[in-house]
Amino acid sequence: MERPIRVVVAKPGLDGHDRGAKVVARALRDAGMEVIYTGLRQTPEQIVETAIQEDADCVAMSILSGAHNHLFPKVVQLLKEKEAEDILVVGGGVIPEDDIPGLLEAGISAIFTPGTPTTVTIDFIRENIRKK
């Protein structure tokens, strides 16, 4: 039996819009994935604990508030501390071009800026999760 890929879709930071995250969540579901949707204003600690308890293959985060340079790497760092760095981390939202290399350097596997077709995100997740 083919097991579904499990993705935690999280919205860290203080901005109050999760429309983008919901669009991604639905697209991933429609691609046959199990999406654990966590809602607004998640702290990195909450996201990492959720990913661990849910045995997620991937954490997908979206940020509009501009706090990505702090929050995305923080999630990667906490996953490392919990020996869960094998969980794929991807990010999206309003992220300036100039910030992307630094985020990739910090261990975020991909950044999807607005306008990226959801199929690109889906394919990236499928191809890059660790095979269990």
Binding site for other proteins (CB under 8 A): 1, 3-4, 6, 25-26, 28-39, 42-43, 45-46, 49-50, 52-55, 82-84, 132
Cα distance between residue 24 and residue 122, in whole Å? 9
Which is closer to other proteins, CB of 35 or CB of 88?
A: 35
Q: How near is the Cβ of 68 to other proteins at its closest, in Å? A: 20
- Shortest distance, CB of residue 121 to other proteins, whole angstroms? 14
Of 4 and 101, CB closest to other proteins: 4
Nearer to other proteins (CB atom), residue 37 or residue 100: 37
Beta-sheet strands, E only, within the chain: 6-10, 34-37, 58-63, 88-93, 110-112
For other proteins, the closer of residues 30 and 123 by Cβ is: 30
Backbone angles phi, psi at 21, to 5 degrees: -65, -35
Smallest gap from Cβ 78 to other proteins, in A, equals 11
In sequence order, the β-bridge partners of residue 92 are 62, 112
Tokens 């929050």, located at residue:
71
Tokens 């094998």, residue located: 86
